Amino acid sequence: MNISQDLNEVQYKAATYFKGPVLILAGAGSGKTRVLTYKIGYMLEKGIVRPYEVLAVTFTNKAAREMKQRVEQLIKNPVDGMWIGTFHSICARILRIEADHIGYDRNFTIYDVDDQLRLLQQIMNGMGIVDQKLKPRGVQYVISESKNKLVSPARFQESAASHADRAIARIYIAYEQALRRNNAFDFDDLLIKPLDLFTREKTILEKYQQKFKYVLVDEYQDTNKAQYYLIKQLSSGHRQVCVVGDEDQSIYRWR
pLDDT: which is higher, 95 or 221: 95
pLDDT band at 29 (very low <50, low <70, confident <90, very high): confident
Every domain of the chain and the residues it spans: 3-99+191-249, 111-182
Taking CA atoms, 117 is separated from 141, 143, 156, 190, in Å, by 10, 11, 20, 18
pLDDT tens digits, one per residue of 114-148? 999 999 999 999 999 877 789 999 999 999 999 99
Task: Read off the amino acid at residue 166.
Answer: R
pLDDT above 90: residue 27: no
- Between CA 237 and CA 243, with CA 240 as vertex, the angle to 5 degrees is 125
Q: Is the pLDDT score of 70 beyond 60?
A: yes
Burial class, 29, CB count within 10 angstroms (exposed 0-12 / middle 13-18 / buried 19+): exposed
The answer to whether 27 touches 250, Cβ cutoff 8 Å, is no
Q: Which CATH architecture has domain 3-99+191-249?
A: 3-Layer(aba) Sandwich (3.40)
Looking at residue 254, the DSSP 8-state letter turns out to be T
- State how far the Cα of 217 lies from the Cα of 241, in Å rounded to an integer: 8
Q: 10 Å Cβ neighbour count for 71?
A: 27
The number of residues in the chain equals 255
Rounded Cα distance between 219 and 223, Å, is 8
Q: Is residue 33 over pLDDT 90? A: no
What is the number of other CB atoms lying within 10 angstroms of the CB of residue 9? 8
Residues 6+ apart with CB under 8 A from 67: 33, 36, 37, 40, 56, 58, 84, 218
Instruction: Give backbone dihedrals phi and psi of 143, rounded to 5 degrees, phi first.
Output: -65, -45
Question: What is the CATH number assigned to the segment(s) 111-182?
Answer: 1.10.10.160
Cα–Cα distance measured from residue 30 to residue 171, given in angstroms and rounded to the nearest whole number: 46
pTM for the predicted model, two decimal places: 0.88
Q: What pLDDT score was predicted for residue 248? A: 66
- Chain segment 210-250, per-residue pLDDT in tens: 999 999 999 998 899 999 999 999 999 999 999 998 876 55
* Closest-CA residue to 133 (of 167, 107, 108): 167
Give the pLDDT confidence of 139-196 residue by residue, as tens digits. Answer: 999 999 999 999 999 999 999 989 999 999 999 999 999 999 999 999 999 999 999 9
